[in-house]
Amino acid sequence: MNSIKPLWTRKAKEINDEEYNNFYKSLTGDQNEPLAHTHFVAEGDVEFTGLLYVPAESNHTRFEKSTTDLKLYVKRVFINDQVQGLLPRFLAFLKGLVDSDDLPLNVSREMLQQSKLLNMIKKKLVRKAIAMFQALEDDKEKYEKFYKNYGTNLKLGVIEDTSNRERLAKLLRFNTYKHQNELVSFQQYVEEMKPNQKDIFFLGGETKEAILNSPLLERLVKKGYDVLLMVDPIDEYLVSTYTKFDKHKLKNLGKEELKLQEDENELKEMKEEFKPLLEYLKTTLSDVQQVVLSSRLTRTPAALVSASFGISANQERILRAQALADEKTRQMFNAKFGRIFEINPFHPLVKQLNEMVKEEKQDEAKDLADLLYDTALLHSGYSVPEPRQFAEKVYKMMSVSLGLDLGELEKVQETLEKQAEEEGVAEETNEPEPESEQEKMERLTEEYVKKAQEESEQKDEL
């Protein structure tokens, strides 16, 4: 550093990109060229010079650090490179320096943490950083590389930084049903919305492919609507904080809030016809809060969504995966909080099940209803609570379709279970009795004496 003239003290228009890049390498030790930089002089309540860089590659520990990678100078004298509070957490990946004439040369770490000047510097740094990201948008290829590395940081910024939330939200990008291989902003989505569309539709899932195959998309995409595909775990926290873009509400297809008026009118006329089935399923399926006719399904007979203030399938998956999930959280999942079972009145399976209920074919209706619910669980992104029971239901339906005698199958199952039980008893009978402490000591002593004799005999032979 001492061999390099303080570059930040010169005017930005006098410095070329090569000089900026070389300075970045000497400042950070990173031999890759940065994606972008901004060099500015802040004036007003506090005056300082700032030079910020966006590294070409992200650091996997960028969310774990309590300090920033900005070096602090006072009147061109280096003070500290581990300053807390100089940047918010979502911008901790930035590198560079800040040089202030307003701070005292003998400033301590404690004074920095309590300094009002530091908070003012922080606010101006955030605004300049966001402006740098906005300038990157002009180069689509470079911005996509930036977003791939730091998109999660921007989402964290939307969640945590209320004063800059709207500016950061405009920087976000997502794949959509119509743009599966390119990233789309909220603004582009709104510009491409259907004439009478008021809301922005989105669906979260583990992978893009899983979302695209979800039954919850069926009717919407058939009618020409686009849907944001949210696969990043932080997206679920994002949409719980950021609920509206430019007067357009964000609607989660994994919840009951989706209403398509043209379909709702048609369903009202069908409710009376399917009333027996709706009441039967509500009584039979204890895990659901409601059973309703669906306006979102076309090919699929049934699906599961959550209540407006419930936990969606994707939220449940993310929360279950957390290592520090407590017992209260697990009990909440076991309660199947706010699940709504939607059935497709146009599907032959649902029509047939409705007829079974009307004709009071209870056994057949119960088996079909249970299997329909379990498959809807899986298809909608939830997990089946009892995999073994689900497998048995599938095997039973397969046997019926093949015309096999269920009574004979049950006898075979009982025979196999009995054989396994007998084998287990036989294994227990053949196991040797545990060795007592006295027997163990006698055995070890005998082995020791025998080994000593063998070693003595070997010495005699030598």
pLDDT, position 403 = 76
pLDDT, position 159 = 96
pLDDT, position 408 = 66
Q: How far is CA 40 from CA 48, 132, 328, 417, in A?
A: 9, 11, 50, 78
Structure tokens given for 175: 């794949």
Which tens digit of pLDDT belongs to each residue from 257-285?
Answer: 777 766 667 788 788 899 999 999 999 98
Structure tokens given for 325: 């999930």
In this structure, what are the phi and psi dihedrals at residue 456, rounded to the nearest 5 degrees? -65, -40
* Model-wide pTM > 0.85: no
Identify whether the C-beta of residue 234 lies closer than 8 Å to the C-beta of residue 400.
no
Q: Which residues of the chain have pLDDT under 50?
A: 1, 334
Identify whether the C-beta of residue 46 lies closer than 8 Å to the C-beta of residue 75.
no
Q: Mapping DSSP to helix (H, G, I), strand (E, B) and coil, where does residue 347 land?
A: coil
Query: Which domains does the chain carry?
Result: 7-136 (3.30.230.80), 269-399 (1.20.120.790)
What are the residues whose beta carbons fall under 8 Å from the beta carbon of 172, sequence distance 6 or more? Answer: 151, 154, 155, 158, 185, 186
Q: What is the C-alpha separation between 379 and 374, in angstroms, rounded?
A: 9
Write down how long the chain is.
462
pLDDT, position 69 = 79
pLDDT, position 1 = 46
pLDDT, position 126 = 96
